[in-house]
Structure 1
Amino acid sequence: MNQTIMSDHYKWNNLRIGGGGYATGLIIHPKEEDLIYVRTDVGGLYRLHKDEERWIQLMDSFGLSQRNFYGIDSVALDAQNSDVIYVAAGKYSKEEVMQYFETDIDENPCDVLRSRDRGITWERTNLNKDFRGNLVVRWNGECIAVDPSNSDYVVCGTRSDGLYIMEQATRNDNWRQLTGVPDGIKGYGIRSVIFDPNSVVNGRCQRFFVGICGEGVYETLDGGETFKVIPNTPLMPNRMSMNSEGALFISAGYCGAKTTDVTRGVYRYDLGITKNITPDPVYEEYTGISVDPTNPNRVVCSVRFNGFWNPIFITLNGGDSWELVTNQSIANADVPWFPSCYFSAATSSVLINPHNPSQVYFTDWYAIWRTDDISQKPRHWKSYTQGYESMVSFTMICPPIGASIITGIADNDGMRHTNLQESPLKKHGGPEMQETTGIDYCESNPNFMARVGSWEWGKTGGGGYSSDNGVSWKAFKNWPFGANGKLAMNPVNENNFVVLPIQDTPKVTFDAGVTWQESVGAPKGSVEKFWSNNHCIASDRVENNVYYIYHRGEVYRSTDGGINWIKVSELPLETFSNMKAMPNNKGHVWVNLNHYGLYTSCDFGDTFTKLNNVNQAYLFAFGKGLTEDIPAVYVYGRVDGVEGIFRSDDKGTTWIRINDDANRVGNDPNCMEGDRQVYGRVYIGTNGRGYYYGEKEN
């Protein structure tokens, strides 16, 4: 190892928030009690640690180039070997990956992955077909299945490329396409596969079903060599479940792809007859469907719409009649910040525990929920979010006093964190925005801070300020600029801050948001879009009225509080960048430019010097140093040819690697800050795994 890079013993954890991201499916091993997995759209795969009632993340060994694998489109378990798991991994298709990520991505960003040790390690099977774990019908499933009688046979449906079978799965990875079924609607594809365990001939199941979006349900009786469409099955099947007598139950419907009325509802296929058994009233879409393995007539199903308290139904007679469950339910969240409406929200799956049929799980936008007695009235449901951290971060600050970290989050606004292992009591509020996209504090008075954000993913904007270190917030008196992006605050004058709205020029206030002024000379569009990870504006952390902007290879500076701007220097053009000023150092401003490295200035941005030992600076941050005038510097990237997360205590002359290959923090990291109160602690926000923090073990 290069002498520049030493090592330091660090421990890595998630900042405890609890839930907050879409759990799109849950699966329980049929033979081993309490072996339960939950998949997410952008947050990887979890396994339940039953004794601690805590979820364990299984994808943290994937690095930046493999970040697309954190979108799990489907999960399959091997009934004959409880150690084996398969996942259809890919947030987005290959084409979409190139559009969204632009750089630092694997050549084949989607694949079926296999683990032989319950998710501790993974290997590719090289199917290399598109999956879309964060896009339409991600709540359907499961599109991959292992023959319950023979571990050698694995069947997988794809989003656009048809159906495949692996016929020697325990020995090698030989995928073969099964040509007897259509591909389905492009991008939706084949979303569910289920075997009939009662159809074993010559050591393998001969009968299985395939749910194809836009085409209905297909059946094979010869192990996949030939198929036939089942008459009168719904054209948009979502999920399937089979009872012990061989009857197939189907949930169906998607309001974004309506064709005819037959595309929605709940159906039973038995003895060659398809029957509509939809509960009344009929909703646009039914997703979850689960049959009690001990009672062929006991079935639970769920409705899905983009809202809260989605209905869940139960039948005891095979669907001839249904009882609404959710109207007699009590929701008990295990985190204090959950509003009362956060229950059965866009419900994706429902599952009767095969080892304890009184117990029922469901997954939704925010959590995993369970009732221990579905027959009890009222039903008591509890969320289980311990270890389940799936927030999408936008930003954060680490003030030198008060809260350790204050977060800005997609879909859930953001929170103030005083204990890293306890969930906050509430979201920001005042105003409570859907997301906080920009936040800063006044260096000379860190109790004063301001934030901006939006509702409906950037359609309308808003913001507010706090004078008590983020405990409470007040909305700006005026905010006329629509959806907005990033914010920087004067280090001396707490009433002066600058906002960079999306696709606009900087807006300036000198009275904490009562009035606003247009800027002059600054570029337009430094924040290009809502889902932008570029933090391209910074205030000097010492000098009054000085602000900086990095814009497409050019550095701009204002010395009058953000009104007038001039171009002062040029740097390489990079689409992914962050600009930050160094605490306690007047005129020191740094910019990370991904593969171009890390650039530093000590003359207010007039000139910059590249740190030659930093080959890649994907993210960087300042934190509390060993002395007041030399802060710790953190880099996520590559130093002297070594990939990792690093700390420097001498302004970048030497670096210490502070992570290992088991803690790569690879899920599209998008923001980074050093703790200003605790030396050696650093935070990294991600696109679906919440916020990580690393700190020295000693």
Structure 2
Amino acid sequence: MSRPLTCIQLHLHNKNKKLVIQSSLRINETRNFILFFEKNEFQLSAKSIPTAENTMKQRSSLSLAISSILGGVLFATSSIAAPSETYKWNNVRIDGGGFVPGIIFNQTEPNLIYARTDIGGAYRWDETTKAWIPLLDWVGWDNWGWNGVLSMATDPVDTNRVYAAVGMYTNSWDPNNGAIIRSSDKGKTWQVTKLPFKVGGNMPGRGMGERLSIDPNKNNIVYFGTEGGNGLWRSTDYGATWAKVSSFTNVGNYAQDPTDVNNYLNHNQGVLWVTFDPTSGAAGSASQTIYVGVADKENAIYRSTDGGTSWARIPGQPTGYLPHKGIYDQVNGVLYIATSDTGGPYDGAKGDVGNSPPALAPGPISALFPPAVPIFILVIVA
């Protein structure tokens, strides 16, 4: 016959505050013990309420139980600081906090690096402490979805400026619309511009981009490629206000699974990235040549040569793939593109990597590798 479990409560007093720790163990007979422990005086008193006859054997069990608990209390309370009137809360390391879809390097300031996550906020690298500094701890319960970061951009002109497109889901799972948040002190403080649509930092295709991009010649101009058929957006006042670029008409048409009834995999992954040719402008005047990647396997790459006024599909581009990444190499005059057959981040099977050589620019894009090359091939641009 199994014997009942004894419940032991420990009451730790300090002035008017009390910490109650409850534990339990099995002894010979049922008893309830109330142990009072005062931290400053290190005094322990025990009161037992027997539920079976008082025998010497039971008293021995009680004595052993109290000794065991007291040893644990002295050990545990030796490391407990006296409670104060106010408390300071800090971060603790929790591994497995989500996927890091993007790492963003500033082009002009060494060691200025940002990382964005799909559910865990954004971070900046601190070269002095060799640690990642969390930037979105101010996000609260009412806007919890802003811990999903779809894209980031760090300003190559004023390196204190950084932007992030935040929002978790584009379906009903996140009740709020997305936002563009901006900082002029490397993420210590932020200003918020709410968007009229949702942003999916944890939606399919979140590893593509970067969707946010700053004109390296005129850094008040910022572009944002959106999801869900919302098209290409632009700000001309450092991200304070935004307007849709009406002349850019391809909003994307690719969805991972158009039949998904949860409005997750049937999400249109939209406009994927924006990159500039810095040599097409001068300091203080807008770059004239801009490239944009779209989630459209037949019409993936577009270019403007008039500062975003008009756009055209680049002829001769590879088809059948999504342009996950696009970056312009201003030194060699080459646009590099890495593609995959799906939006990812976890189901790509094959891809392609290509470039547009200077001799052909602004002509066709030529493939560097056969189509069976996986997306994880990395093109390093010097």
**Aligned partner of residue 51 in structure 1, secondary structure:** coil
Q: Which amino acid counterpart does residue 119 of structure 1 have in structure 2?
A: G
1:204 partner SS = coil
The residue aligned with 1:28 is: 105
Report if the CA contact (8 A) 2:324-2:340 is conserved. Answer: yes
Q: How does 1:1-16 map to 2 (within 5 A)?
A: 8-16=85-93
Is 1:273 aligned to 2:341, yes or no? no
SS of the residue corresponding to residue 16 of structure 1 reads coil
Pairing partner for 1:224 from 299, 305, 308: 308
SS at match of 1:66: helix
Q: CA deviation at 1:267?
A: 0.8
Give the counterpart of 1:164 among 207, 230, 233: 233
Distance 1:157 1:204 in 2: 18
Query: Larger radius of gyration, structure 1 or 2?
Result: 2
What do residues 87-112 of structure 1 show as CA deviations (whole Å, max 9, x unaligned)?
A: 111111153414xxxxxxxxx43011
* TM value normalised by structure 1: 0.37
Q: CA contact under 8 A between 1:144 and 1:157: conserved in structure 2? A: yes
The match for 2:323 among 237, 244, 267 is 237
Matched residue SS, 1:61: coil
Aligned residue identity for 1:198: T
Q: Residue 65 of structure 1: SS of its match in structure 2?
A: helix
**1:149 maps to which residue?**
217
**Residue in 1 aligned with 2:381?**
291
Task: Spell out, residue by residue over 1:320-369, the C-alpha distance to the aligned partner (whole angstroms, 9 max, x if none).
Answer: xxxxxxxxxxxxxxxxxxxxxxxxxxxxxxxxxxxxxxxxxxxxxxxxxx
Contact 1:239 1:289 in 2 (8 A): no
CA distance in 2, matches of 1:137, 1:49: 28
Letter matched to residue 179 of structure 1: S
Whether contact under 8 Å (1:162, 1:177) holds in the other structure is yes
Pick closer, same or farther for the CA change 1:288–1:114 going to 2, 3 Å: farther
Which of 189, 193, 196 is the aligned partner of 2:274? 193
Q: Distance in 2 between matches of 1:129 and 1:149?
A: 29
Quick one: which amino acid aligns to residue 88 of structure 1? A
Matched residue type, 1:237: P
Q: Which amino acid aligns with 2:233?
A: Y
Q: Within the alignment, does 1:37 sit opposite 2:114 as a pair? A: yes
Q: 1:241: how far off?
A: 1.7
Q: Does 1:207 align with 2:289?
A: yes
Distance 2:127 2:364 in 1: 41
- Tell whether 2:334 aligns with 1:247: yes
| Displacement of 1:46 | 0.2
Paired residues, number: 270
What does 1:300-311 correspond to in 2, within 5 Å? none
**Counterparts in 2 of 1:166 and 1:16: CA distance versus 1, 3 Å:** closer
SS at match of 2:145: helix
| Aligned equivalents of 2:218, 2:196: Cα separation in 1 | 24
Query: Alpha-carbon deviations, 1:194-242, whole Å to 9, x = none?
Result: 1111110671101111110013011110111111111223441001122
Query: Within 1, Cα distance between the matches of 2:183 and 2:277?
Result: 24
Alignment pair present for 1:89 and 2:166: yes
Distance 1:153 1:84 in 2: 12
Query: Which structure has more helix as a fraction of its residues?
Result: 2
Task: Please tell me whether the aligned partners of residues 100 and 116 of structure 2 are also in contact (alpha carbons under 8 angstroms).
Answer: yes
**What SS is found at the alignment partner of 1:112?**
strand
How do residues 313-392 of structure 1 correspond to structure 2 at under 5 angstroms? none
CA drift at 1:180: 2.3
Give the Cα–Cα distance (whole angstroms) in 2 for the partners of residues 286 and 245 of structure 1. Answer: 23
Q: Secondary structure at the match of 2:119?
A: coil
Instruction: Report if the CA contact (8 A) 1:41-1:133 is conserved.
Output: yes
Please say if 1:127 is aligned against 2:208: no
TM-superposed CA distance for 1:167, in Å, is 1.7
Task: State the 1:256 CA deviation.
Answer: 6.1
Query: How far apart are 1:288 and its partner, in Å?
Result: 5.2
Amino acid at match of 2:251: D
2:378 and 2:85 map into 1 onto residues whose CA distance is 47
Deviation of the 1:21 alpha carbon? 2.5
Deviation at 1:191, TM superposition (A): 1.2
Q: Residues 404-461 of structure 1, C-alpha deviation per residue, up to 9 Å, x if partnerless?
A: xxxxxxxxxxxxxxxxxxxxxxxxxxxxxxxxxxxxxxxxxxxxxxxxxxxxxxxxxx
User: Which protein has the bigger strand share?
Assistant: 1
Please list, as runs of the form range in 1=range in 2, the aligned pairs for 1:500-511 lying within 5 A after superposition: none
**Structure 1: which 5+ runs fail to align?**
1-6, 99-107, 258-262, 293-698
Q: Over the residues paired in the alignment, what is the CA RMSD in angstroms?
A: 2.3
Aligned residues of 1:181 and 1:218 also touching (Cα < 8 A): no
Provide Cα deviations, 1:357-395, integer angstroms capped at 9, x if missing partner: xxxxxxxxxxxxxxxxxxxxxxxxxxxxxxxxxxxxxxx
TM-score by length of 2: 0.66
Deviation at 1:142, TM superposition (A): 0.2
Percent identity among equivalent residues? 31
1:49-81 deviation line (CA, Å, top 9, x unaligned): 111110000000111111111101001111111
Is the CA contact 1:242–1:248 (under 8 Å) kept in the aligned structure 2?
yes
Q: Which position in structure 2 is the counterpart of 1:264? A: 351
| Counterpart Cα distance in 1 of 2:142 and 2:188 | 19
- Tell me how far apart the structure 2 counterparts of residues 67 and 224 of structure 1 sit (CA, whole Å): 34
In the other structure, the counterpart of 1:60 is 137
Matches of 1:280 and 1:74, distance apart in 2: 27
Cα 1:13–1:279 change in 2 (3 A) is farther
Structure 1 residue 280: Cα displacement: 8.4
